[in-house]
Amino acid sequence: MAKAKSSYSCTACGASATKWAGQCADCGEWNTLIEIAVAATTPRGGRFAGYAGAAGASEVQLLREVSADDVSRTPTGISEFDRVLGGGLVPGSVVLIGGDPGIGKSTLLLQTLAELDKQFTTLYVSGEESPQQVSLRARRLKLPIENMRLLPETRVEGILATAVKERPQVVVIDSIQTIFTEQLQSAPGSVAQVRESAAQLVRFAKQSGACLFIVGHVTKEGQLAGPRVLEHMVDTVLYFEGDSGSRYRVVRAFKNRFGAVNELGVFAMTEQGLKEVSNPSAIFLSSHDEAVAGSAIMVTMEGSRPLLVEVQALVDESQLGNPRRVTVGLEQNRLAMLLAVLSRHGGVVTHDQDVFINAVGGVRLSETGADLAVLLAVLSSLRNRPLPGGLIVFGEVGLAGEIRPVPNGQERLREAAKHGFTRAIVPKANLGKRAVEGMAVVGVSRLSEALEQL
């Protein structure tokens, strides 16, 4: 077998070199040379000539002649997973799943394959665990494994050769950091190896029509390890989130070419694997025996799903010259801005107070609809007076003290009413034409009006 050729390219100026060096000879930058595979000429028909569309060159088409039919989707059998995927699997799609070690990525995909194996040909490629380890997990989860096929392989050429022979309809690669190609000499997990191996796997999925799941490691910062182009090559990027001390896991979509982004799937880790949480709003609400100060309930939108979240605030006299502003689940700079608005337009001064904000359940409140809930929770803690029972609030607060509307106001109110809330303070523009049954909704346009309602 002829030795695969590779070269090195500078990420700063794009210059090429035949061997690696610490400094680029053209631009003088250090540690910018990365290994790349030299494109080899392939015979007519390409590497996967057995699949339709692999042979020959593509032809130019008129966009008006291209059919705009909806893409068919196949449910995975796990409704929370289908929600994040946009309704199910699309033929030829590539899904990248990242998350911390031990959070449940392999468990979720093994359960998914067990459901899909009832109607499709599947293949689980294990590059990290031995066949015995995968078998032990499947038996511990009590999954049907009679027809499940397993391939312990890390060489991408061997994986593709087996896939071309077996023709699976769903393939799981666990994980991309352990896969390497013979075309490069660098170690598995390097930038060049991850990029080239993923490119070959994506090419196979597009030409064969197989659904491909790729497991990716994350760095200490929580980002997917490897080149950023990895996220651009795939169709869907999912992040597995959750605290190691909590039994709840959240799967969040950050990119989806076949569905909405920012969708959320909630699971609970049990002895039998991951179980779907049918009512996720309940896990984000604390159960207090009596009303407590510094707590406000708001409704946030995660994709198309409204979720009830409790926002807690603790305001205490500061012993420091520079009072602390600490947030968990909320942007810290936004808290500083909201406190300034509360001082200017609400007459409530907190410049000598430490302010701590927490979103219960580990939820991240990235939308501006949490502004009003944060301010009311801060005021409740500062005055040591609980908010009225059964109250729900949401709304964006502007720098001029105005309360701006948020999207999907009626859906938020209906979700709150379903959980027994009887009163709401919302932006005036979110007042719908129809009243929500069992709920008294008050619309406000200024922060001062919201404070008067309390």
Q: Which has the minimum average pLDDT: 53-62, 142-151, 213-222?
A: 53-62
C-alpha distances in Å from residue 401, one per residue of 10, 313, 389, 408, 430 = 51, 20, 25, 22, 17
pLDDT at 5: 62
C-alpha distances in Å from residue 175, one per residue of 88, 90, 203, 218, 392 = 22, 21, 17, 11, 43
pLDDT at 44: 46
Name the residue with higher pLDDT: 176 or 14: 176
Percentage of the residues of the chain whose pLDDT score is greater than 70: 93
Strand 33-37 and strand 353-359: pairing? unpaired
* Maximal C-alpha separation, the chain: 81
CATH of 283-452, one of 3.40.640.10, 3.30.230.10, 3.30.470.20, 3.30.360.10: 3.30.230.10
Name the residue with higher pLDDT: 71 or 43: 71
Q: Among candidates 283, 280, 278, 295, which has minimal Cα distance to 390?
A: 295
Q: Among candidates 420, 409, 437, 418, which has minimal Cα distance to 301?
A: 409
- Please identify, in words, the CATH class of the domain defined by 73-278: alpha beta
Q: Among candidates 183, 194, 29, which has minimal Cα distance to 10?
A: 29
3-state secondary structure 232-282: HHCCEEEEEECCCCCCEEEEEEEEECCCCCCCEEEEEEECCEEEECCCHHH
195-216 mean pLDDT: 95
Average pLDDT, the chain: 88
Q: Which has the minimum average pLDDT: 8-22, 106-120, 354-368, 378-392?
A: 8-22
pLDDT in tens, 341-395: 999 999 999 999 999 999 987 788 888 999 999 999 999 999 999 999 899 999 9
pLDDT at 284: 75
pLDDT in tens, 396-454: 999 999 999 999 999 999 999 988 899 999 999 998 778 888 899 999 999 999 999 88
Q: Is the pTM of this model over 0.85?
A: no
With contact defined as beta carbons under 8 Å apart, do 394 and 369 qualify?
A: yes
